[in-house]
Chain A
Amino acid sequence: MDYIQPFNRILLVGCNECVTVCSAGGRKEVGLLSSALQSAFLSAGKSIDIKEHTLERQCDPEYVEELVGMMDGVDAVVSMACGCGVQEVARRYKNKPVFPAVNTKFMGASERQGVWAERCQGCGNCLLGITGGICPIARCSKQLMNGPCGGSTNGKCEISKEVDCAWQLIWDRLKMLGQEERYLDIIPAKDWRTAGGGGPRKIVREDLAG
């Protein structure tokens, strides 16, 4: 609210992709936030004009282009996409302030309805093939590469009883697959350049890129 306080006409933009399925920034959440903001500003004695729009995707310029016609009538844009969407909108519409309305935290999977947990850190050189399909980078608190630490008790991590020990999960799964010998393989120290240590990352598909 502090972000948009100085503005009178806001464009609130949702995204139909990932943020929709995790109930964070789809059409439905755009409606809810719009109504909540309207009431919050009214309560404080200010009326603002909020336009709602939800794009198919906010991380592709083709879709972000659709907002062209709406930009003249607004003072600022509030994006309910992940950080990629916010930045794409900001890149395309350089003269409009763009603010994030979703606090993007991690790449996760849904454990059950309404619960999401981190599964992937996008670190490059994927290890899942040798760790039984369970990631020690995203799911071990210490990102250990060769078995658990002394803090693993009854399958739980020492940081919290709510957190599974990734290496316990890996061992259980390797046993189930009859691949116990995999556990003996020494995984060398990870080269973190592919995980962002080498600067911002980029993928170029030569066959697709013009």
Chain B
Amino acid sequence: MEKFEPVIVAFCCHYCAYTAADMAGSQRLDYPPNVKIIRVPCSGKVDAIHILKAFERGADGVYVAGCLEGDCHFKNGNLKAEKQVQYLKKSLDEIGIGGDRLEMVFMSAGMGELFARKAKEMTEKIRQLGPSPVHTQLEQQAKQKAS
């Protein structure tokens, strides 16, 4: 079997994680290219549908990155995001995708190093879990179509 490269979607808050990713870049820190960053105005703006759609289209892992507790630009969007993530983990278990493919992380805009580390940790974790069942099926379907 070819080496499995997970597809990971990271919803990053503009005020912290997205800037931290920028910082990681300026610091020339390495982080896996598996992580696809989507910038959002606040982690609290990430809706369940965005996360579910990511998995439906074949993401192997998703994480939402918001500000440290008490630092949300919009008061408590980060904590709302965490509640949403915890709730969705249960749904993902029911669906058969597995709740451990979804995580919430917190960081500040200055934590470039933490951003790179979280990206590595998540990529490694998902690599261990293997491809999501949806991803596997979508790939099979694509192969069948091609042949």
Contact = CB atoms under 8 A, between A and B. Distances in A.
Interface residues of B, number: 17
B52 A47 contact: no
A8 B40 CA distance: 36
Given A43-B134, A44-B96, A38 B56 contact: yes
B3 interface: no
Looking at chain A's contact residues, the main secondary structure is helix
Contacts of A38: 56
Interface string B51-90: 0110110000000000000000000000000000000000
A97 B95 CA distance: 23
Interface string A25-61: 0001001100110111011110100000000000000
A31 B137 CA distance: 21
A32 B95 CA distance: 12
Contacts of A36: 52, 91, 95
A39 B48 contact: no
Given A32-B48, A36-B91, A36-B95, A43 B137 contact: yes
Interface in B11-55: 48-49, 52-53, 55
B99 interface: no
B49 A40 contact: no
Name the 5 nearest CB pairs between A and B, nearest first. A43-B133, A43-B96, A35-B52, A40-B95, A42-B134
Interface of B: 48-49, 52-53, 55-56, 91, 94-97, 132-134, 137-138, 141
23 contacts: A28-B49, A32-B49, A35-B52, A35-B56, A36-B91, A36-B95, A38-B56, A39-B52, A39-B96, A39-B134, A42-B56, A42-B133, A42-B134, A42-B137, A42-B138, A43-B95, A43-B96, A43-B97, A43-B132, A43-B133, A43-B137, A44-B96, A47-B141
